[in-house]
Amino acid sequence: MIELKNVCRTFTVGDQQVAALRDIDLRIDAAEYISIMGPSGSGKSTMLNMLGLLDRPTSGTYLLDGGNVTELNDEQQARVRREKIGFVFQSFHLVPRLTAAQNVELPMILAGIPAEERKSRVRVLMQNYGLSDRADHKPDQLSGGQRQRVAIARATVMNPTVLLADEPTGNLDRNTGWEVLKLLEGLLEQGITLVVVTHDAEIGARAHRQIHMLDGRILSDERQVK
Protein backbone atom coordinates (compact mmCIF):
# COMPACT_ATOMS: atom_id res chain seq x y z
CA MET A 1 0.00 0.00 0.00
CA ILE A 2 2.84 2.32 0.89
CA GLU A 3 6.07 2.00 -1.00
CA LEU A 4 9.17 4.15 -0.64
CA LYS A 5 11.86 3.67 -3.28
CA ASN A 6 15.37 5.13 -2.86
CA VAL A 7 13.94 8.03 -0.89
CA CYS A 8 16.50 10.65 0.17
CA ARG A 9 15.86 13.85 2.08
CA THR A 10 18.61 16.37 2.60
CA PHE A 11 18.36 19.64 4.48
CA THR A 12 20.59 22.62 3.96
CA VAL A 13 21.78 23.91 7.31
CA GLY A 14 23.93 26.97 6.79
CA ASP A 15 26.16 25.89 3.92
CA GLN A 16 26.15 22.23 4.91
CA GLN A 17 24.05 19.47 3.45
CA VAL A 18 22.56 17.27 6.14
CA ALA A 19 20.99 14.00 5.07
CA ALA A 20 17.96 13.15 7.18
CA LEU A 21 16.97 10.16 5.08
CA ARG A 22 19.37 8.15 2.95
CA ASP A 23 18.16 5.69 0.30
CA ILE A 24 15.13 4.47 2.17
CA ASP A 25 13.32 1.48 0.69
CA LEU A 26 10.23 0.55 2.61
CA ARG A 27 7.00 -1.29 1.96
CA ILE A 28 4.05 -1.07 4.30
CA ASP A 29 0.96 -3.18 3.77
CA ALA A 30 -2.56 -2.33 4.76
CA ALA A 31 -3.54 -2.80 8.41
CA GLU A 32 0.04 -3.12 9.64
CA TYR A 33 1.08 -1.87 13.07
CA ILE A 34 4.55 -0.42 12.84
CA SER A 35 6.77 1.36 15.29
CA ILE A 36 9.70 3.47 14.18
CA MET A 37 12.37 3.83 16.80
CA GLY A 38 15.77 5.42 17.00
CA PRO A 39 17.72 8.14 18.79
CA SER A 40 16.91 11.77 18.09
CA GLY A 41 18.30 12.90 14.76
CA SER A 42 18.02 9.41 13.33
CA GLY A 43 15.44 10.60 10.79
CA LYS A 44 12.35 8.94 12.29
CA SER A 45 10.32 12.14 12.40
CA THR A 46 11.36 13.06 8.85
CA MET A 47 10.26 9.59 7.83
CA LEU A 48 6.85 10.16 9.41
CA ASN A 49 6.47 13.58 7.75
CA MET A 50 7.43 11.98 4.46
CA LEU A 51 4.79 9.25 4.89
CA GLY A 52 2.25 11.97 5.77
CA LEU A 53 3.09 14.07 2.69
CA LEU A 54 4.12 16.99 4.88
CA ASP A 55 7.59 16.73 3.41
CA ARG A 56 8.75 15.96 -0.10
CA PRO A 57 11.68 13.65 -0.81
CA THR A 58 14.76 15.26 -2.34
CA SER A 59 14.98 12.21 -4.56
CA GLY A 60 13.24 8.87 -4.89
CA THR A 61 9.55 8.00 -5.23
CA TYR A 62 6.68 7.47 -2.85
CA LEU A 63 3.83 5.29 -4.04
CA LEU A 64 0.61 5.41 -2.05
CA ASP A 65 -2.08 2.92 -3.10
CA GLY A 66 -0.14 2.44 -6.30
CA GLY A 67 -0.07 6.12 -7.25
CA ASN A 68 3.07 8.23 -7.28
CA VAL A 69 2.27 10.97 -4.77
CA THR A 70 5.60 12.78 -5.12
CA GLU A 71 4.41 14.10 -8.45
CA LEU A 72 1.19 15.60 -7.08
CA ASN A 73 0.82 19.33 -6.65
CA ASP A 74 0.04 21.07 -3.36
CA GLU A 75 -3.71 20.84 -3.76
CA GLN A 76 -3.70 17.15 -4.73
CA GLN A 77 -1.36 16.27 -1.86
CA ALA A 78 -3.64 18.15 0.53
CA ARG A 79 -6.52 16.06 -0.72
CA VAL A 80 -4.60 12.84 -0.09
CA ARG A 81 -3.75 14.01 3.45
CA ARG A 82 -7.36 14.93 4.06
CA GLU A 83 -8.81 11.64 2.84
CA LYS A 84 -6.22 9.00 3.61
CA ILE A 85 -3.96 10.20 6.40
CA GLY A 86 -4.52 11.08 10.03
CA PHE A 87 -1.94 12.72 12.29
CA VAL A 88 -1.50 12.49 16.03
CA PHE A 89 1.16 14.76 17.49
CA GLN A 90 3.18 14.71 20.68
CA SER A 91 1.95 18.19 21.65
CA PHE A 92 -1.66 17.50 20.50
CA HIS A 93 -1.85 20.61 18.28
CA LEU A 94 -5.41 21.49 19.17
CA VAL A 95 -6.63 24.95 18.10
CA PRO A 96 -6.93 26.74 21.45
CA ARG A 97 -9.87 28.98 20.55
CA LEU A 98 -12.01 26.07 19.34
CA THR A 99 -13.90 23.69 21.60
CA ALA A 100 -13.09 19.97 21.67
CA ALA A 101 -16.01 19.25 19.34
CA GLN A 102 -14.98 22.03 16.96
CA ASN A 103 -11.44 20.69 16.86
CA VAL A 104 -12.75 17.27 15.90
CA GLU A 105 -14.98 18.89 13.29
CA LEU A 106 -12.13 20.84 11.67
CA PRO A 107 -10.96 18.24 9.06
CA MET A 108 -14.55 17.82 7.89
CA ILE A 109 -14.93 21.61 7.53
CA LEU A 110 -11.80 21.68 5.38
CA ALA A 111 -13.23 18.82 3.33
CA GLY A 112 -16.47 20.73 2.75
CA ILE A 113 -18.75 18.18 4.42
CA PRO A 114 -22.24 19.57 5.19
CA ALA A 115 -22.80 20.85 8.73
CA GLU A 116 -25.49 18.32 9.77
CA GLU A 117 -23.33 15.38 8.81
CA ARG A 118 -20.37 16.94 10.62
CA LYS A 119 -22.34 17.36 13.81
CA SER A 120 -23.63 13.80 13.87
CA ARG A 121 -20.20 12.31 13.11
CA VAL A 122 -18.60 14.42 15.83
CA ARG A 123 -21.26 13.34 18.33
CA VAL A 124 -20.72 9.66 17.61
CA LEU A 125 -16.97 9.97 17.80
CA MET A 126 -16.98 11.99 21.02
CA GLN A 127 -19.18 9.34 22.57
CA ASN A 128 -16.90 6.50 21.44
CA TYR A 129 -13.90 8.22 23.00
CA GLY A 130 -15.73 9.06 26.22
CA LEU A 131 -15.56 12.80 25.60
CA SER A 132 -19.28 13.61 25.36
CA ASP A 133 -19.31 15.69 28.52
CA ARG A 134 -16.15 17.54 27.39
CA ALA A 135 -17.40 18.46 23.91
CA ASP A 136 -17.86 22.15 24.67
CA HIS A 137 -14.64 22.58 26.64
CA LYS A 138 -11.70 24.51 25.26
CA PRO A 139 -8.41 22.54 25.10
CA ASP A 140 -6.97 24.40 28.10
CA GLN A 141 -9.84 23.04 30.21
CA LEU A 142 -8.94 19.45 29.33
CA SER A 143 -6.38 17.09 30.84
CA GLY A 144 -3.48 15.84 28.73
CA GLY A 145 -5.13 12.48 28.15
CA GLN A 146 -8.38 14.11 27.15
CA ARG A 147 -6.55 16.43 24.77
CA GLN A 148 -4.83 13.52 23.07
CA ARG A 149 -8.13 11.67 22.81
CA VAL A 150 -9.65 14.74 21.13
CA ALA A 151 -6.64 14.78 18.78
CA ILE A 152 -7.15 11.09 17.94
CA ALA A 153 -10.83 11.70 17.33
CA ARG A 154 -9.83 14.51 14.98
CA ALA A 155 -7.30 12.27 13.20
CA THR A 156 -9.85 9.51 12.63
CA VAL A 157 -12.96 11.54 11.84
CA MET A 158 -12.27 11.37 8.10
CA ASN A 159 -11.77 7.56 8.31
CA PRO A 160 -8.16 7.57 7.08
CA THR A 161 -6.36 4.46 5.95
CA VAL A 162 -3.11 5.44 7.64
CA LEU A 163 -2.71 6.93 11.11
CA LEU A 164 0.66 8.51 11.81
CA ALA A 165 1.48 9.15 15.45
CA ASP A 166 4.58 11.12 16.42
CA GLU A 167 5.48 10.34 20.06
CA PRO A 168 1.77 10.22 20.95
CA THR A 169 2.51 9.49 24.61
CA GLY A 170 5.51 11.81 24.92
CA ASN A 171 3.68 14.53 26.84
CA LEU A 172 1.58 12.18 28.98
CA ASP A 173 2.20 10.38 32.22
CA ARG A 174 2.67 6.65 32.08
CA ASN A 175 -0.88 5.55 32.82
CA THR A 176 -2.53 8.05 30.52
CA GLY A 177 0.05 7.15 27.89
CA TRP A 178 -0.98 3.51 28.02
CA GLU A 179 -4.63 4.43 27.75
CA VAL A 180 -3.98 6.53 24.68
CA LEU A 181 -1.88 3.76 23.15
CA LYS A 182 -4.69 1.24 23.74
CA LEU A 183 -7.07 3.61 22.03
CA LEU A 184 -4.77 3.81 19.01
CA GLU A 185 -4.31 0.03 18.92
CA GLY A 186 -8.09 -0.35 19.04
CA LEU A 187 -8.22 1.35 15.66
CA LEU A 188 -6.31 -1.59 14.15
CA GLU A 189 -9.49 -3.64 14.37
CA GLN A 190 -11.07 -1.21 11.91
CA GLY A 191 -8.31 -2.03 9.43
CA ILE A 192 -6.31 1.14 9.88
CA THR A 193 -2.56 1.18 9.29
CA LEU A 194 -0.87 2.51 12.41
CA VAL A 195 2.63 3.97 12.37
CA VAL A 196 3.99 5.11 15.73
CA VAL A 197 7.24 7.01 16.10
CA THR A 198 8.70 6.66 19.57
CA HIS A 199 11.98 6.48 21.42
CA ASP A 200 10.34 4.40 24.17
CA ALA A 201 11.40 0.79 23.57
CA GLU A 202 8.56 -0.57 25.68
CA ILE A 203 5.96 1.15 23.54
CA GLY A 204 7.80 0.30 20.34
CA ALA A 205 7.87 -3.36 21.32
CA ARG A 206 4.08 -3.56 21.20
CA ALA A 207 4.04 -3.04 17.41
CA HIS A 208 3.87 -6.03 15.10
CA ARG A 209 6.68 -4.64 13.05
CA GLN A 210 9.54 -2.66 14.50
CA ILE A 211 11.82 -0.46 12.47
CA HIS A 212 15.02 0.91 13.99
CA MET A 213 16.66 3.89 12.39
CA LEU A 214 20.07 5.49 12.71
CA ASP A 215 21.62 8.33 10.73
CA GLY A 216 18.85 8.38 8.20
CA ARG A 217 19.02 4.69 7.40
CA ILE A 218 16.90 1.72 8.38
CA LEU A 219 19.04 -0.28 10.75
CA SER A 220 16.67 -3.16 11.29
CA ASP A 221 13.16 -4.12 10.26
CA GLU A 222 11.72 -6.95 12.41
CA ARG A 223 8.36 -8.58 12.32
CA GLN A 224 6.90 -10.22 15.37
CA VAL A 225 4.96 -13.32 14.78
CA LYS A 226 2.13 -13.40 17.22
Partner 1 sequence: MKLADTIQFASGSLRGSPTRTLLMMLAMSIGVAAVVVLTALGEGARRYVVDQFSSLGTNLVIVLPGRTETAGVGPGLMSGQTPRDITLDDAQAFLRSRAIKRIAPLTVGSATISRGALNREVVVAGSSADMLGIRHMSMGVGRFLPAGDLHDSASVCVLGNAIRRELFGNESAVGQSVRIGDRRFRVIGVLASQGESMGMRTDDLVIIPVATAHQLFNTTSLFRVLIEAKNRDYIEQAKRDAEEIMVQRHSGERDVTVITQDAILQTFDRILTALTMAVGGIAAISLAVAGVLIMNVMLIAVAQRIKEIGLLKALGAPGKQIRHLFFAEAVLLSGIGSVAGLALGYAGSFIIGQVYPMLPVSPPWWAVLAATITALGTGVLFSVWPARRAARLDPVAALAGK
Contacts to partner 1 by CB under 8 A: 49, 52, 54-55, 74-75, 77-83, 85, 87, 89, 93, 95, 97-98, 106-107, 109-112, 115, 154, 158
Please list the residues that pair with 27 across neighbouring strands: 3
The residue among 89 and 178 lying less far from partner 1, judged by its C-beta, is 89
Minimum distance from CB of 191 to partner 1 (Å)? 20
Minimum distance from CB of 70 to partner 1 (Å)? 16
Minimum distance from CB of 69 to partner 1 (Å)? 13
Output phi, psi for 23, to 5 deg.
45, 55
The residue among 31 and 54 lying less far from partner 1, judged by its C-beta, is 54
The residue among 33 and 87 lying less far from partner 1, judged by its C-beta, is 87
Q: Which residues of 130-168 are buried (b: 16+ CB within 10 A; e: fewer)?
A: ebeebbebebeebeebbbbbbbbbbbbbbebbbbbbbbb
The residue among 95 and 201 lying less far from partner 1, judged by its C-beta, is 95
Angle between helical axes of 144-156 and 174-186 (0-180°, round to 10) = 20
